[in-house]
Amino acid sequence: MAIKKGIYAASISILKEDLSLDTDFTIKHAERLINEGCHGVVIFGSTGQAQLISSAEKIKLVEKLSSSKYKKNFIIGTGLNSLKENIEMMQHSLKNGFNQFLIMPPAYYKYSDEGAYSFYANLINKIPESNIILYNFEKLSGYKFSLQIVEKLVKDFPKQIVGLKDSSYNLYENLKIPNFFIFPGSETKLLKGLELGCSG
């Protein structure tokens, strides 16, 4: 399923008593969200504690997730700072049938719009078949997208940069790009967002 308008839940990652990822339970929970009416689910977003789950555990979950009957309804969040690790995670996801990604720019270090542009351009250069939803969440990444950089990314990579999740709430009211998905990052913004023409 290509990304479309609708309600996408930010699913949680469920841990075992030893704090390792409970892969099976995490997948069952995500499937239940779709069973109960969500159009899709994001795996390993901020609610899924993406930054705290090891790459090895993410790889294992993606492999098991590929057998789900709801496979086409999942968006994979990479939750990684390293450009190389993002590329590796995306390549692994593609091998397992996933090409829809929610990707936040790297956290901790400060950079400009040009730095963010370079990050996504490098990802797309390596993974041109990807569909990417930009993740705008300044509180976590330290970077806030501007209207101008989103417009430039969409203009230069229209087949890959397909949407934006706005958890900083500086864009969803003003960003107007044809055939571009905009998802406010909180259910408290859902109704207002829909009234403004957002995608879900």
| pLDDT above 90 (res 163) | yes
Q: Decide: helix, strand or coil at residue 183.
A: strand
| pLDDT above 60 (res 164) | yes
Condensed to tens digits (0 to 9), the pLDDT of residues 31-67 reads 999 999 999 999 999 899 998 999 999 999 999 999 9
| pLDDT above 70 (res 1) | no
| pLDDT above 80 (res 196) | no
- DSSP letters for the chain: ----SS-EEEPPPPB-TTS-B-HHHHHHHHHHHHHTT-SEEEESSTTTTGGGS-HHHHHHHHHHHTTSTTGGGEEEE-----HHHHHHHHHHHHHTT--EEEEPPPPSS---HHHHHHHHHHHHHH-TT-EEEEEE-HHHHS----HHHHHHHHHH-TTTEEEEEESS-SSTTT---TT-EEEESSGGGHHHHHHHT---
| pLDDT above 80 (res 117) | yes
pLDDT at 18: 96
| pLDDT above 90 (res 22) | yes
Q: How far is CA 161 from the centre of its chain?
A: 11
Confidence of residue 96 (pLDDT cuts 50, 70, 90): very high
| Tally of CB atoms within 10 A around 72 | 12
Distance CA 178, CA 1 (A): 20
Mean pLDDT of 75-89: 95
Give the predicted TM-score (pTM) of the model: 0.93
